[in-house]
């Protein structure tokens, strides 16, 4: 019995074979293979930066989460570009090109709209959706064909780089390390803790002349009568948020709604 492979190239090849069958069932299975192909490409790139990620997160991150992380530590890793290496002449000028490679990768649409669209065909449609199900499948084959053509260069690419100079800061909330890129951070840019159970957000306030990062955590300070100030992650806030202070007192945060007529 052969072992099923999640290799990006094999996933793409199976999707292409299913496309030739043209029946609805085969096209839906092709959607599954293409989603797995996108995941395989993302996870392969992810391995280059794996040492910066908590082990528990490795089993849960989907392509979008992977690329959000890559954007935080090395934006160049999620862009297409041509990589060239030149020989240096004795006078330190550039000589002949001795290596040339194309770096191609997934784009925002692949891991967002396309990934979700492929997933929409993997579930039993609702009763209402079944009424026009044939209409939904009318353009599916062409969409799959286009997606395969776009993913083929990424699958065939065997070249990747890691130019990210990464440093870490300690999260104020969970005390885990947050990896960040050394170059290119902008004032007002936001970044977050990579621990999914924390996900505390931060914002860059300034960058000093010696490249020191000045930032603040985006949290709500809630004082308690005991004198303790509770820092609440803004990502946790809902219309009604309940939490306990370290002293044991329960607090209720309620979102206020305002109406302003002009």
DSSP output for 228-241: -EEEEEGGG--SEE
Helix (H) or strand (E) holding 206: strand 201-207
Q: Specify whether 141 is located in the same domain as 234.
A: no
Q: Taking Cα atoms as reference points, which of 163, 204, 9 lies closest to residue 78?
A: 163
How many domains would you assign to the chain?
Answer: 2
pLDDT digits (tens, 9 = 90+) for 139-152: 889 999 999 999 99
pLDDT digits (tens, 9 = 90+) for 153-200: 999 987 777 766 788 889 888 888 888 887 777 888 888 888 888 888
Residues with Cβ within 8 Å of 15's Cβ and at least 6 positions away in sequence, in order, are 30, 33, 34, 37, 144, 148
Is residue 235 one of the residues assigned to a domain? Answer: yes
Is residue 61 one of the residues assigned to a domain? Answer: yes
- Using DSSP's 3-state secondary structure scheme, residue 83 falls into strand
Q: Specify whether 262 is located in the same domain as 132.
A: no
Burial 47-66 (b: 16+ CB within 10 A, else e): eebeebbeeeeeeebebbbb
Average pLDDT over residues 19-47: 90
Is residue 224 one of the residues assigned to a domain? Answer: yes
Last residue of a domain, one of 134, 156, 178: 156
Average pLDDT over residues 33-57: 86
**Radius of gyration for the chain, computed over Cα atoms and rounded to the nearest angstrom:** 24
pTM, 2 dp: 0.77
Q: Specify whether 38 is located in the same domain as 127.
A: yes
Interstrand relation of 213-217 and 219-223 (parallel, antiparallel or unpaired): unpaired
Q: Specify whether 122 is located in the same domain as 232.
A: no
Q: Specify whether 130 is located in the same domain as 239.
A: no
Contact between residue 14 and residue 5 where contact means Cβ atoms under 8 Å apart:
no
Q: Which two tokens stand for residue 66?
A: 């992977």
Is residue 190 one of the residues assigned to a domain? Answer: no
Name which residue leads in pLDDT, 217 or 211: 217
Average pLDDT over residues 231-240: 70
The domain containing residue 116 runs over which residues?
8-156
- Residue 100 pLDDT more than 90? no
């Amino acid at each position: 019995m052969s072992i099923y492979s999640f290799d990006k190239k094999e996933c793409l090849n199976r999707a292409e074979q299913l496309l030739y069958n043209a029946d609805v069932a085969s096209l839906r299975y092709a959607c599954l293979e293409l989603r797995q192909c996108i995941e395989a490409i993302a996870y392969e790139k992810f391995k280059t930066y794996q040492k910066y990620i908590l082990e528990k997160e490795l089993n849960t991150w989907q392509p979008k989460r992977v690329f959000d992380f890559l954007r935080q530590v090395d934006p160049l890793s999620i862009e297409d570009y041509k990589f060239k290496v030149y020989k240096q002449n004795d006078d330190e000028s550039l000589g002949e090109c001795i290596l040339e490679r194309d770096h191609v990768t997934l784009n925002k649409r692949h891991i967002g709209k396309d990934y979700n669209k492929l997933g929409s065909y993997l579930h039993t449609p609702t009763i209402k959706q079944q009424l026009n199900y044939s209409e939904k499948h009318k353009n599916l084959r062409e969409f799959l064909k286009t997606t395969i053509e776009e993913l083929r260069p990424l699958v065939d690419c065997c070249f990747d780089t890691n130019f990210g100079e990464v440093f870490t800061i300690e999260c104020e909330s969970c005390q885990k390390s947050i990896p960040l890129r050394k170059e290119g951070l902008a004032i007002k840019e936001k970044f977050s803790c990579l621990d999914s159970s924390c996900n505390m957000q931060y914002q860059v306030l300034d960058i000093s002349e010696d490249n020191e990062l000045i930032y603040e955590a985006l949290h709500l300070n809630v004082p308690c009568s005991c004198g303790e100030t509770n820092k609440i992650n803004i990502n946790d806030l809902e219309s009604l948020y309940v939490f306990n202070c370290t002293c044991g007192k329960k607090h209720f945060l309620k979102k206020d709604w305002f109406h302003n007529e002009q």
